[in-house]
Chains A and B, each alone.
Chain A
């Protein structure tokens, strides 16, 4: 099986290690990965500022990049959701609408996709670690990250008091309402720190950036990992059959 990889702009230039972990996990699970170049932005930013015309223009670009029939896998709940939103941008009955519908039907968030593979949720990963999970409201209620991480042997999955609560990022929101955004983030950070985790895991890179950046400024850094990175490292350890070993990879935030 081959999939087409959709890489969010944040991952492309700031968190490339997430993309590499995705490739590593998928290939180890026997999935071939194609990565069409040059990807920029799925249009989420324009869509969420209400700029539908530009969102549509960017969507057309994505429709070219991700022309079928392979499944499209994306390590971000919100970008995957944006791709699923494309049909709303085109008039029903038009060829573009048909292409958008076709794409929307083939888009998978990374964890959802891994969960659909044979053998999942136990993919042979192993990691003796206390992991705090941020579910991310952008996952639309999907429990795929929980199910995958729970199946990692040795991993203690910790969830904050209000697991579904927003971390306050909201893209544009964090810029227009900085104090409110920070208040939400403060709540989230305290609930996560109360779990005394060794790592912070999420399937949403933007939430991960928001929360870990705040924890770093607080002076309470917790290593932030995308679910793909946690699984990738777990696969390393699972293969080695060892529970020790220094952590490699993962974003290092100064």
Chain B
């Protein structure tokens, strides 16, 4: 049987099943109200990140953000880094990390190149206060592997990106899709990652270990100013 025949067979069986025994769906209750994003949003985010062993550092200026990133690189013993190309305060970051080797992703062997980096520096479109999840949207200047292959991941989170929970995601994705006019209407970015704490496993004897395949360390720098 070909895949096309399978398709027709499967759909016909499903249709016949629903016709024989219709399935009605009771209206669900209204979605509970989300957390409100107020002046204490950074504190809420820090509190939810803390049990994940993720430290939030706040920066009031690009220079302060760059200093935080340099501190993190030093604390984690990083000798090399890779970063997304279009970061806020990118110039300040490079200056602050001048002592480290910057690895450039090359399209032919992006993962191979970035696997050698000690630290990956990215930027979150949003952060979910309910769970401490960082919302990263991949794109041409933003390889997925920067937040995945290096043992340390540092993520910049803008003040305007603080949202309540995952129910904010559809709206955010649609806005993103609408803005990317180059693609057919409604097409989402190729990859969106919610990142919540470091890579982890408890597969052996249920003992929690950070850093299995992804970064064992995650640091967040809050950009507490208005990005344009």
Within the complex, are A and B direct neighbours (CB within 8 Å)?
A: no
Interface residues of B (CB under 8 A from A): none
Interface residues of A (CB under 8 A from B): none
